[in-house]
Amino acid sequence: MAFKNLLVHLDPSKSSAKRADAAIALAARHGAHLTALAAAAMPTIPSYVEAQIPAAVFEQARESTMESLTAAVDGFAKKAGAAGIAFEVRKELAKGPLAELISQHARYSDLAILGQSDPDDPLSGEPELSEDVILGGGRPVLMIPYIGAMQEPGRKVVVAWDAGREAARAVNDAMPLLAAAEQVSVLIVNPKRGPGAHGDEPGADIATHLARHGVKVDVKVYTQRDLSIADVILARISDDGADLVVMGAYGHARLREMVLGGVTREMFRHMTVPLFMSH
């Protein structure tokens, strides 16, 4: 298993260049081809308002968006060329939902690299964009915080393990990163012991599985009732100096997480390092 074909989404946001840096570093480390998809959605307005706006206004908005995407592509190409990686660029305005366009391109890659939505930058897109790609793209997603990655992600990794289907999928998809990591910590919060849960010794089975793939792994189990699972993960990231979290996305229905809250949504909002997620 290896990452040989990566996709990174570029947009007109301030954080796009930081996302490109992380993607280029990852491609260089794994000897992968990197495709940059510079894509944005055209502004939409109600039809009854559209009739009152001159067509020239829409054309100007389109041209402005394309110019911003071109600038993002030019910056990416310069950095990718200097890094000596194999790469290509694609530039497109989405005629429908942007998530559907990104998902279509993601299906022909090993990993899609997207960005966290920045609440102070409307050009970074809605939070639902990455969620929709994770759920509909059929490929794992590496989410880069809008503050960027402090270093090439994947040296010290935390695996958020709940013994569920989504977590198992994420571990399998992330194996090239885990095998190349200097250290991997399996983090288990409030384990459920016994058959059908974490087993009699929580973390032992997944640690054995990873070790058989040559992964340097340790297991950390926490029983914490005062903090949310996401808060425990974020605390361990800080204490351990981790630069990547691997976790399953939406172990519960997304509607339930939207109403009641959940680990996936909390991590989306408060992530401090890149998240590798699968569904």
Helices (H), 125-194: 127-136, 165-173, 175-180
Indicate if the pLDDT at residue 257 is higher than 60. no
Cα–Cα distance, 190 to 86 (Å, whole number): 44
Indicate if the pLDDT at residue 61 is higher than 90. no
The whole-number pLDDT of residue 259 equals 38
pLDDT averaged over the chain?
Answer: 87
The whole-number pLDDT of residue 182 equals 93
Res. 261 pLDDT band, cuts 50 70 90: very low
Indicate if the pLDDT at residue 210 is higher than 90. yes
**Contact between residue 187 and residue 167 where contact means Cβ atoms under 8 Å apart:** no
- Average pLDDT for 218-232: 89
Question: pLDDT (tens digit, 9 = 90+) per residue, 76-88?
Answer: 999 999 999 999 9
Indicate if the pLDDT at residue 196 is higher than 80. no
Res. 256 pLDDT band, cuts 50 70 90: very low
Neighbouring residues of 127: CB distance < 8 A, sequence distance ≥ 6: 117, 268, 269
**Contact between residue 9 and residue 63 where contact means Cβ atoms under 8 Å apart:** no
Indicate if the pLDDT at residue 139 is higher than 60. yes
Tokens matching residue 167: 């977590």
The whole-number pLDDT of residue 21 equals 95
Cα–Cα distance, 16 to 238 (Å, whole number): 24
Neighbours of 4 (CB within 10 A): 15
Cα–Cα distance, 138 to 249 (Å, whole number): 12
- CA-only gyration radius of the chain, Å: 20
Taking CA atoms, 63 is separated from 40, 54, 71, in Å, by: 12, 15, 12
Indicate if the pLDDT at residue 135 is higher than 80. yes
Question: pLDDT (tens digit, 9 = 90+) per residue, 153-181?
Answer: 889 999 999 988 999 999 999 999 999 99
Question: pLDDT (tens digit, 9 = 90+) per residue, 97-124?
Answer: 999 999 999 999 999 999 998 989 888 8
The percentage of residues in the chain with a pLDDT greater than 70, rounded to a whole number, is 88
The whole-number pLDDT of residue 227 equals 86
The whole-number pLDDT of residue 3 equals 93
User: What pTM was computed for the model?
Assistant: 0.89
Cα–Cα distance, 132 to 141 (Å, whole number): 11
The whole-number pLDDT of residue 192 equals 79
- Average pLDDT for 210-216: 95
